[in-house]
Amino acid sequence: MKFEDKIRVLIVDDSAVMRRIIMTSLMKHSDIEVVGTAANGLLAIEAIKRSSPDIVTLDVEMPEMDGITALREIRKIHPTLPIIMFSSLTQRGAKATMDALTYGASDYVGKPQASSNPADAYKVLEESLIPKIKALCQRESGKVKKASSIKERGAARREALSIPVPEKITTLPSEIASSSSSTKVIRPEGRPLYPVDALCIGVSTGGPAALMKVFELWRTPLTVPIFIVQHMPPKFTTLLAARLTEIGVMPVQEPYDGQEAVAGHAYLAPGGYHLELRRKGTKVFMYLNEDPPENSCRPAVDVLFRSAAKVYGQSLLAVVLTGMGYDGLRGAEDIIRSNGVVLAQDKETSVIWGMPGAIAQADLAEKVLPLEAIPDEILFRTQLK
């Protein structure tokens, strides 16, 4: 592989041992080049100017200038540079990571302990860090294509993305076929838009910032319950729910097993648990389980979508936002078969167009929309009566 085709990585960590572990792990991949290291945020800013990396791994806790402060300074001069935060999976580390994602970090990785077995540390990096580096630095025509920040792209397009509420209800396509399945998913010819009784959202990489944008743009509570699966471990989902409650107009919580769903409330699947919905009479209840991961995820979007399709049928609206992989694809097929509706975020405003791209490429999305247009689209549909 040519030198200029490699993904150029800058490693920022105050631990010399951890820098060496990360570097050794990255150097095993022929398409990755380590272009420098730095021991704190101040040195990282200088290293970025000097080496022009394609992506940065940034430790949260460092002397002189910590990772959060460095991130905010880097974003002033490099709003689109992919940055992966390294933090411990403690309560303190989770809070710092949530702050980082709010301030523009592209993603995060739970930091392996430098004192742990090196083999365990390398496994964590191989399974978590390497795929994210490659996904955030996609290649196009042999060159590295950097992911852009939602904030920067959205600001340039916000005025053009103001969408009017349709004067009359439109009809849906007569046929939507999923390329991921041999079975075609057919909609009745000219089926009108049905009133929406529930909203499901599936999201992964880049999700916290995307969810914050959606909840910020709603000025009034929705008249339906919202169910969300965001790929995150325990503690992180708790903090995300609190952050969404803080910035939005609706309470967001991690549901407890057997809790009744209430309109105007949002429920975020807790890290480590699948979220399923079941109907009892006229009421809908939420149940948590630790069944095996699906698509290597728990919680998994497919689990939520599949159960929601059974409960709400044609009255379900599902939205797939930015994320790596294809979790939600099978569940979206179930929703379409039940005459529900699926929307997907577009490529331009997604940090990674994996999950929404899979929906769009399988022709399961009724609309593929930029992030800033999605809140208004949801609001319009949930107000149909």
Burial tier of 323 (Cβ tally within 10 Å: 0-12, 13-18, 19+): buried
Helix (H) or strand (E) holding 59: strand 55-59
| Model pLDDT, residue 173 | 37
Looking up tokens 């699966």, which residue turns up? Answer: 229
Does 327 qualify as catalytic in the annotation?
A: yes
Does 265 qualify as catalytic in the annotation?
A: no
Distance in Å from the first CA to the final CA of the chain: 58
| DSSP, res 326 | -
pTM over 0.85: no
SS3 27: helix
| Model pLDDT, residue 89 | 64
What tokens appear for 26 in the block?
Answer: 């990255």
Selecting among 327, 334, 346, 350, the annotated active-site residue is 327
Helix (H) or strand (E) holding 156: helix 150-157
Does 231 qualify as catalytic in the annotation?
A: yes
Selecting among 54, 178, 197, 231, the annotated active-site residue is 231
Class of domain 3-147: alpha beta
The alpha carbon of residue 45 and the mean position of all alpha carbons in its chain are separated, in whole angstroms, by: 27
The alpha carbon of residue 103 and the mean position of all alpha carbons in its chain are separated, in whole angstroms, by: 15
d(CA 269, CA 299): 7
| Model pLDDT, residue 145 | 55
Q: Which CA distances in Å does 185 have to 143, 181, 245, 335, 356?
A: 38, 9, 37, 10, 18
SS3 62: coil
If we measure between CA atoms, which residue out of 234, 305, 323, 223 comes closest to residue 270? 234
Helix (H) or strand (E) holding 41: helix 41-51
**CATH (one of 3.60.15.10, 3.40.640.10, 3.40.1010.10, 3.40.50.180) for 153-382:** 3.40.50.180
| Model pLDDT, residue 160 | 34
Contact 294, 322 (CB under 8 A): no
| Model pLDDT, residue 185 | 45
Question: Angle at the Cα of 291 (from 244 to 212), degrees rounded to 5?
Answer: 10
What tokens appear for 339 in the block?
Answer: 């005459």
Instruction: List the pLDDT tens digit at each of the 385 positions of the chain.
Output: 555 689 999 999 999 989 999 999 999 999 999 999 999 999 999 999 999 999 999 998 898 899 999 999 999 999 889 999 988 766 777 888 888 988 889 999 887 765 567 787 888 889 889 999 999 987 443 455 555 444 443 333 333 333 233 333 333 333 333 444 434 444 444 556 788 999 999 999 999 999 999 999 999 999 999 999 999 988 899 999 999 999 999 999 999 999 999 999 999 999 999 999 999 999 999 999 999 999 999 999 999 999 999 999 999 999 999 999 999 999 999 999 999 999 999 999 999 999 999 999 999 999 999 999 999 999 999 987 6
Task: Kindly list the domain boundaries of the chain, sorted by start residue.
Answer: 3-147, 153-382
Selecting among 106, 204, 307, 338, the annotated active-site residue is 204
| Model pLDDT, residue 192 | 65
| Model pLDDT, residue 167 | 33
Cβ neighbours around 130 below 10 Å, total: 16
Q: Same fold for the domain at 3-147 and the one at 153-382? A: yes
